[in-house]
Structure formats: structure tokens, C-alpha cells
Structure 1
Amino acid sequence: MHIVFTISSLDRTAGGTSSAVAAMARHLAGRDCDVSVVSVESDQPLLDGAGTEEGTPTVALVRRDDSPWKLWQNLSRFTHALRKEIESRSNVVVHDNGLWLPVNHRVATTTRSLACPRVVNPHGMLEPWSLEQGAWKKKAAWWLYQKRDLQSAEVVIATAEQEVQNIRALGVDGPIAVVPNGVDRPDSLPSVEEGTSDGWEQRRVLFLSRIHQKKGLLNLVKAWERLRPDGWEVIIAGPDENGHEAEVRRRIAEYGLEEDFVFTGPVEGTEKWKLYQSADLFVLPTHSENFGIVVAEALSCGVPVITTRGAPWGDLVDHDCGWWIEIGVDPLVEALAQATRMSATDRSAMGRRGRELVTRKYTWPQVAAALQSVYAWVLGKGPCPECVIA
């Protein structure tokens, strides 16, 4: 089979969706299928290759013109690249990523015109919090084309049962496959035991994600002001988005917490994983996530996690490796108090359970195998997988 991934951007700064698609493409290319990716060119693409080496995807980066009046030409180039990928191969499935953008609608119309099966992965863009952002535009798009584009897909991919429920609530009644994202933790990093912070002057709470209103950082600052645990600091790592970092810094200054918070800016690669390893606790006080890959990454490094019910991480409670709390300051204060007062031994035990959970459930080879079974079923070359909800 041949899998064509489509996405508006593969840039390193574009967020978790781009990283997830790049990882999907790489891992599926290492299995018994050919993989190509069609996207718009960017300054720092996560994938940029001709697929000439075995087990690597082919990447078609479409030339972009940022002039507003060039939108039609950009879409035409994208359509041409997509049609070329579909028409030059057999047994093709298109896996489109994201919603709402003209590129996503063009993928839907092109695959329908070519009778090519299409799988759609919304990546949390149908979650209630996300729908509230630019709500009137999304309502118009929903009735003009977006609902039809979803209904005409062979399968919609959700990363958790929580996302399934939110998709169903919108009247999408076709098959949905529940396939989580995976974790690519390097094997060469020190083990959690070797990276423990015993003996350090400061213990670390880590937030690693985009610095965006959605992520709930203002709730974290308010909770920290009320708690102020001795011997702890908060590391905030990630790129600023829409100027939100300045607002967070202002709130920190208002509460006189400057010595408790450290901003590192964006971190990638080995530095990112070392930062996870140095943490005693990971916090994502988010308003909405369809998955929350940073939660899985932290767990894979043996770090217990606090996150909200805006993220689908009931596994934290089921496997006793963290706290899954309501959104808001009060629940966050309570969870932080429990976590920071817990002994290092008990936190390490929680971390070990989290690492075991990720190993059993959230590795990319497991995710790639599940996706491949979905594609095979769509093409009529395999049975309906257990992850598909009719």
C-alpha cells in the first residue's frame, strides 16, 4: 500500500501536529508500505527527503507565496502535488491532518474526484475549547464544507475516547479509529535513576509546551503564588505564541515570584530530553488537548505528571503515575501540594509506573502498526481492526 500524508505545515515551530505527522511518516516508512508527505514549504521542515533510502518517506514540499492574492496559486500547486502522488501509484490511502484550512478542504475535494480513500485526523480541532476560538468562522465553515468533508472520509482518527465523544456530539457518525500518538524517547539518555535530583538545592516542576493561552499557565502562576513550596522551582520551556509569555511574566512579577520561575525558550532534541530527565514533576494545566504528547514524553522519562481533564489522560489515575484534575486554580493547588510534599522515593515509584505504561501502550512502533491495520481495512486488504468504532 501507499500512504500519502497531507498537512499544511511541517515546520518545527508549527506545534505538536507537525511533529506527530513527521513521526508517523518515518515509522510507517519502516514497515511494509510506501509513504509520501505533501506539505507546504517552510523554513525548518521536520521532513525533507526524496525517500531514496529504504525506510524513509518521500516528501513533496510545495512552493509557498505569502501574498494574500496568491492563495489560489498555492492551492493549485498543492493540488497538483497531491494528484501526482495519487495517480502515479496504486493502493493509495490519503491521511489528511487538521481541519478548517483551505488545504484540508482541497484534499477532500481532490480525493473525492479521484475516488481515493481518505482518512482524516482532526488533532483536537473539534474539541470544545478549540471550537470556541474563532467560533463564528468555524460555524460557517462547518455548514459550508467541513462537516461534509468529515462525513465523506472513510475513517476519522481520534487519539482518545474523549475525542471520540466530542466528534460524535457534532453529528459525525462514520467510523472512528482510536489511535494515540507515540513517543520517540532516545535510548541513549541516562536512566531516570541516574538523572534523579536527590541532593540538588532545588527540585524542579517542568512545563514544556507552547506558551499559549490554551495551556493554562496563568492558572499555574496563581496556584504557585498560593502554595509557594520551599525548595522548588518552575521551569517553563517552549516557544512564545501570540505574545502570551509577556502576560505570564507580568503575572509572575505581580506576585513577586521571579526567583521561582525560569524561562528557557524553545528546546529540541537532546536538550529537551535532558530537561525532562532533570524534572521531579511535570505539569500541563491545559484547557484542551486531544492527546498531549508532552505528557507521554514526561512519563517515558519516569516523571510523574499533573494535568487536567482538558487532556485525555485518565491513565494517570488508572496506573497511579500522576494526577488528573479538573481545570482551575483550586484543583491545581491541591495536586501540587500533594506532589511537592511527597517523598522523593514515592515520586520515583510513580515515575516508574508511568514509564512502564508508555512502554506498553504509547510507542511509535505500536502506533504505526495500528495505523497500518486501519489503512489495510480501508483498502479492503484486512479485517476491521479493534481500534475502529463503527
Structure 2
Amino acid sequence: MRVIELVASIRSEYGGPAYTVPALASALRRAGVEVELHTLAAPEKIDCGVPVTVHPLIRGIPAFAGYSAGLYGQLQMLSRDSNIIHSHLLWTALNILPEFARRGRNCRHVISPRGTLSRTAMGMKSWRKAASLRLGQWSALEHADLFHATSDMEYEDIRRMGLRQPVAVLPNGIELPQFSEAKRRPACRTLLYFGRYHPIKGIEMLLSAWKKLSLRHPEWRLRLVGPCNAYAEELKKAAEKCRLPRVEFCGELKGARKIEAYREASLFVLPSFSENFGVTVAEALACGTPAVTTTGTPWKQLEEHGCGRCVPAGEEPLTGALDWLMSCGDDELAAMGERGRSWMEEFNWTHIGERMKTIYGWLCCGGDRPDEVRPD
């Protein structure tokens, strides 16, 4: 079986899909699938264990259009010799053209919206999305053979659009780090945010909550980690203007330094208004750190598993949840983190790769429908 995975960018500043799509491709390869990854932008060093092809953007055309010279012809050639083209995200030429390029060929088209169909996401730059739908994105959605949703919330987003094709509900995976010793008691307790600096992430709401929390919990600091951009500078200036104490803005952290940041934190927070998965919650739990997030993410089971809180997106609920957990002792937070780490064993990439391989096989060859696939 030959599969082509398509994603606009695998640069870290692009957010979750820049990590999860290469990780999925790598897991599929370990499962015995012949897989290639095609993208429009990549870092200089690429190490995901699969062949990667970068299709450079055309100068003068806005990057959000996602168009590369000769892209349509290359997709036609790929669809001729491939069983599946799996496109991730929406709204760019890279997500529209595969549907037209594969027509007349025995190549299936799978689409992973990855949060782009949520109500919150659809309301942002709606003019651009409306134009994309008219230019072929709706046709691509209508004619896709299968959708992949990473959560029940995303499944509902797909159905709300009136799309009736089968949907495979399969979460992202997580690499479970191995540690030789338990988490150390920190000298200063840290509330950690890790991710993109973007309005959808709810960071302004978090800073507003911190005004109260910093007074109630002088032994805590707030640490925000992510690739720097113009919005990060706006947030930093706002924090300085409001004289928020013990707030640290960090640049991007990778590898061992990233794991160390999760391990050093006493509590993790993702205050997003909308997430199709929220991989940083999984990463924090995998490192033994409990988490607080919102019902705009698919992490409502945090409380069921005893490893955090999931509350409505709003300053008051967020402040209340953080206040409660920041009042917990170190031992209590550590126990919550360990429960979260045990839960994350269900999300290992090897298992996710095997399940996706089975789903692809069913799509191409038929047979018994996998448990993850939901018909209309």
C-alpha cells in the first residue's frame, strides 16, 4: 500500500499538525506502509524517518494560498501510483487540488480537517474560507472518500457541515518519554503554557486570570513557551503594561529542553477556545504534569481520570479551576500527574499507526469495518 500524506507546513511555528502529521507518517512506516510526506514548508533539518518532498511556494502569491509551481501535475503523478492521498487541514491549494488530480484514478482521498471546521475556526477570517469553498474546497469535501477526526468533537464538526461520508475517529498519538527518577519538588512552582501564540489559544484570558492568581499564590510563576511572533510581542507588552508579576515569556523549546520544561512545571494550562486535539495536553500528561484546559478541547476526561480539570472557556471558570489546583500540595499534584501519565499509555504512536493502517486497508479493499469508522 502506498500512501501520500499532505500538510502545508512541518515548521514548528505552524502548531500541532507540524508535529502530528510527520509522527503519523513515521508510525505508518513502522507498521509496514509505504508512505511519503509532501509539504510546502519544512525546517532545514528533517528527521521523521520517511521521505519528505518540499514543494516551494511561488513568490508573489500569498503563503495562505498554499500554491506551488507544478503542484497539480505532481499530484496527478502521485495519484497514478498511490492507493491513498491523505490531506491534512483545509483552505489551501494543497488541500483542494488532490481531489481534482486523482479523478479518473483508483486513488482514495482522505481528509483530516484538524480543527479547521470548528465553529470558532470557521468564524476567523471567514472571507478567506468562503473564497476557498467557492474555489474548490467544498467540492473536495463533498467527494472525499473518508474523513479522519481526532476526537468526537471534530466528528460533530464534520457532520454539522452536512458531510455524510464515513468518518474514522482516531486520536493523535504521543511519544511517552522514559524517566529514571520521579519529578523533583520545585523551588518555585510553575504554571506552564506551551504552544503557539495565537488569539484562538486564549492566552489573553489566561493573563487576565493571572492578575488574581498571582496575588493569591505568590509562590507560583507563569511561564509561556512558544515560537516568538508579533502576537507574542503584543502579549508581552500587555503583561508589562499591567505589571503582571512573575510572568516569563520564552522562545521555542525542542527536544530535551521541551521535556524538561514539562517536567519542571507543577501544572499545565491550555486555555484554548477551540482545539481538534490539543497535543500539548497529552505531552504534559505524558511527562507527569496535570493539566487544566477548556471544553473547547476534547479533554473532558481529565477529571474522570483524576489528572486535571476541563472547564468552559471563560476567565471566571479558568480562574476557579487554576485557583483550586494551585492550592493543592506537591504530593497531590504529583499523584494527579502520574495518573495522567498512565492514561497516556493508550495514545502511543505505534498503536495509532497500526489502527490507521487497518483503516486505510478497509478503505482500499473493503472487509469488516474497523471500530473507529462511523458510517453516516
Distance 2:280 2:63 in 1: 36
Between the aligned partners of 2:74 and 2:130, the Cα distance in structure 1 is 30
Q: Specify the alignment match of 2:11 in structure 1.
A: 11
Structure-2 change in CA distance of 1:275 and 1:71 (3 Å): closer
Note the C-alpha offset of 1:41.
4.5
Counterpart CA distance in 2 for 1:319 and 1:44 is 40
Aligned to 1:237: 225
Listed as ranges, the matches of 1:130-145 within 5 Å are 130-145=121-136
User: CA 1:74–1:283 in 2, change beyond 3 Å: closer, same or farther?
Assistant: closer
Q: In the alignment, is residue 254 of structure 1 matched against residue 241 of structure 2?
A: yes
Match of 1:333 in 2: 319
Query: What is aligned with 2:145?
Result: 154
Structure 2 unaligned spans of 5+: none
Q: Which amino acid aligns with 1:20?
A: T
Give the SS at the match of 1:112: coil
Instruction: Give the deviation of 1:141 after TM superposition.
Output: 2.9
Give the TM-score normalised by the residue count of structure 2. Answer: 0.93
Once the two structures are TM-superposed, the CA of residue 69 in structure 1 deviates from its matched residue by: 9.5
TM-score with structure 1 setting the length: 0.90
Contact 1:38 1:78 in 2 (8 A): no
Is 1:344 the counterpart of 2:330? The answer is: yes
Letter in 2 for 1:24: L
Amino acid in the other structure paired with 2:162: G
User: What one-letter code is carried by the residue in structure 1 that aligns with 2:53?
Assistant: A
1:376 counterpart residue number: 361
Kindly indicate whether the alpha-carbon contact (under 8 Å) linking 1:215 and 1:286 is maintained by their aligned counterparts in 2: yes
Question: What is the rounded CA distance, in whole Å, between the counterparts of 1:172 and 1:47 in structure 2?
Answer: 36
Deviates more, 1:339-348 or 1:77-86: 77-86
Report Cα offsets for 1:20-63 as digits up to 9, x if no partner.
11101111111121111222254436458xxxxxxx42222224
SS at match of 1:267: coil
In 2, Cα distance between equivalents of 1:41 and 1:204: 34
Paired residues of 1:206 and 1:236 also in contact (CA < 8 A): yes
CA distance in 1, matches of 2:95, 2:255: 29
Match of 2:254 in 1: 268
2:96 is equivalent to residue 109 of structure 1: no
Count of paired positions: 373
In structure 2, relative to structure 1, the CA distance for the partners of 1:74 and 1:217 (3 Å cut) is: closer
Residues 281 and 378 from structure 1, CA distance in 2 versus in 1: closer, same or farther, beyond 3 angstroms?
Answer: same
Deviations 1:172-205 (A, max 9, x none): 1111110111112333x444x2x32x2x431011
Deviation at 1:143, TM superposition (A): 4.7
1:160/1:288 CA distance change after superposition, 3 Å: same
Q: Deviations over 1:293-336 (max 9, x none)?
A: 00000000111000011111012022111100111110111111
Judged with a 3 Å threshold, the aligned counterparts in structure 2 of structure 1 residues 371 and 329 are, in CA distance, closer, same or farther, namely same
Name the residue aligned to 1:84: 77
What RMSD, in angstroms, separates the aligned Cα atoms of the two structures? 2.2
**1:346-361 equivalences in 2 (<5 Å):** 346-360=332-346
Partner of 1:52: none
Indicate how the Cα distance of structure 1 residues 214 and 2 shifts in structure 2: closer, same or farther if over 3 A, else same: same
Looking at structure 2, the residues matched to 323 and 27 of structure 1 have their Cα atoms a distance apart, in angstroms, of: 30
